[in-house]
Structure 1
Amino acid sequence: MSDRRPVILRPDELPAKDRGAGARTVPLVTSGRGATTFLNGITSFEPGAAIPHHTHNVAESVIVVEGDAVVDIDGVRTLLRTFDTTFVPANIPHHFENASGSSPMKIFWTYASVEATRTIVGTGAHSRVDAEHPDGPAGPADLVHESALITVLPGREERFEAAVAAAAPLFQQAGGARTFLLERSCETPLQYRLVVGWDSVDDHTSGFRNSPAFLRWRELIAATIADLPQVTHFRHVLTAF
């Protein structure tokens, strides 16, 4: 069985990281807590506090959840009220400040990838956001992606797609399985790519392939495919934006 479980996270019960200059961060959804596609958390600012100007390698969205803030996005400063929301694409310098000298301020942030990094503009200091977990590194986030190129028999596309949807729970319950998606070629409509994220190659090749679920998976798609899937495995190298 996969170790993914629903979790309730209570910020006041979780450890916080002191960011310095009056800012403290509580990571919420991290790779160590099961995230595979995004990260989020809360940063609290004391009156007048600010964090350094920085960039990320992925898109970021921030919601002001308490107080008033100033956001500086590439030199443009904007006053934000509670629940105002920002979206900043990758590689654009920005930072947040508490607009009040007497009241606290909090933001709720989300990064579009577990591979998110932060680079401080003034110093060039560079770190992985998910490695800032107060208890140390949050766990492996570099999933192995199984990429299966599958050619479908003419006229059986809808039946194949339905079979893959029916098979999704087989993968979801497999040990080490994290993500599951199906893509269809625009240029060659009979070609599909199934991408499954695994904690390790062994979880796929030794675990899933030796399980009854694998046999059931092959049974579901057998009458719809032209040949056996062509399978390769990949690891993440770079997220540029």
Structure 2
Amino acid sequence: MLRPDELPARDRGAGARTVPLVTTARGATSFLNGITEFEAGAAIGHHTHNATESVVVIQGEAVVDIAGERTRLRCFDTTLVPANVAHHFENASATEPMKIFWTYASLETTRTLVASGERSRIDAEDPTGSAEPASVVREAARITVLPGRAKDFEAAVAAAAPLFQRARGARTLTLERSHEDPLEYRLEIGWDSVEDHVTGFRGSADFREWRRLIADCVAGPPEVMHFRPVLTAF
């Protein structure tokens, strides 16, 4: 449970302050969100993000400038701004406060100020002064299944999902099937660290159960590599 009035805020300057809510440090797996409060007449600088942003006005009235087009927003009006589109919000009132609730579609979201080119990672803007959070490590496993066993394999992965979910450091799991080769799958699992996967999970009874579940469906052991984010462009 996250209560904004009990969490530290970051002074954005020019009469704006931000309270981060869902962050990687608090368990985020695929998005970030928080609240920014604007004093009467306050505005933040024109900027872009490398990921889609959605904003809901939750108090007062705002003006949003998206690529030079200015729109007045009432409480609960919602915006959707694609990546790399310059925008900013202003408090439309000269006397009353305004608040927005924002969500970014990537843990790796950055903010780049148009005027200066200064760039910072959203999830690193920690008002407690903590170190910049580490990026999630992605385990990518290429798995080839035996002819006629695709559905059995998919069922086995679904049955194994709780094994991964309770593993230390595991954050996400997705399974994709190749369009060109229906016998080939890619399993992606997000981990806090390589050690959580290689030393922690692989040494557990749950790992042995995972391999048992898929043993009769696969043509050979999964081919596994680990990746860290380098660039999120949009």
**Which bracket does the TM-score occupy, shorter chain normalised?**
over 0.9
> In structure 2, what is the equivalent of residue 224 of structure 1?
217
Instruction: Give 1:110-189 correspondences, 5 Å limit.
Output: 110-137=103-130, 140-189=133-182
Structure 1 unpaired stretches of 5+ = 1-7
Q: Deviations over 1:17-58 (max 9, x none)?
A: 111111110000011111121100000111110000000111
Whole-angstrom distance in 2 between the partners of 1:44 and 1:145: 34
Q: TM-score w.r.t. structure 1 length?
A: 0.95
Counterpart of 1:20 (choices 7, 13, 19) is: 13
Whole-angstrom distance in 2 between the partners of 1:95 and 1:12: 24
> In structure 1, what is the equivalent of residue 99 of structure 2?
106
> In structure 2, what is the equivalent of residue 87 of structure 1?
80
Q: Is the 8 A contact 1:73 1:93 kept in 2?
A: yes
Q: How many residues align?
A: 234
Whole-angstrom distance in 2 between the partners of 1:162 and 1:116: 34
Instruction: Give 1:56-71 correspondences, 5 Å limit.
Output: 56-71=49-64
Whole-angstrom distance in 2 between the partners of 1:196 and 1:125: 32
Q: Deviations over 1:157-205 (max 9, x none)?
A: 1111010011011011111111111011011111000011111111111
Structure 2 unpaired stretches of 5+ = none
Query: How far does residue 139 in structure 1 lie from its aligned partner after superposition?
Result: 5.2
Amino acid at match of 1:143: V
Amino acid at match of 1:9: L
Q: Deviations over 1:111-157 (max 9, x none)?
A: 01111111111111111111111012465341111111001111111
Q: TM-score w.r.t. structure 2 length?
A: 0.98
Whole-angstrom distance in 2 between the partners of 1:176 and 1:154: 34
Counterpart of 1:194 (choices 180, 187, 190) is: 187
Identity within the alignment, %? 70
Q: Is the 8 A contact 1:30 1:138 kept in 2?
A: no
RMSD between aligned residues: 1.0
Q: Is the 8 A contact 1:114 1:141 kept in 2?
A: no
Query: Is the partner of 1:158 in helix, strand or coil?
Result: helix
Q: Is the 8 A contact 1:30 1:130 kept in 2?
A: yes
Amino acid at match of 2:224: V
Query: Is the partner of 2:111 in helix, strand or coil?
Result: strand
Whole-angstrom distance in 2 between the partners of 1:223 and 1:138: 45
Query: Is the partner of 2:127 in helix, strand or coil?
Result: coil
Amino acid at match of 1:240: A
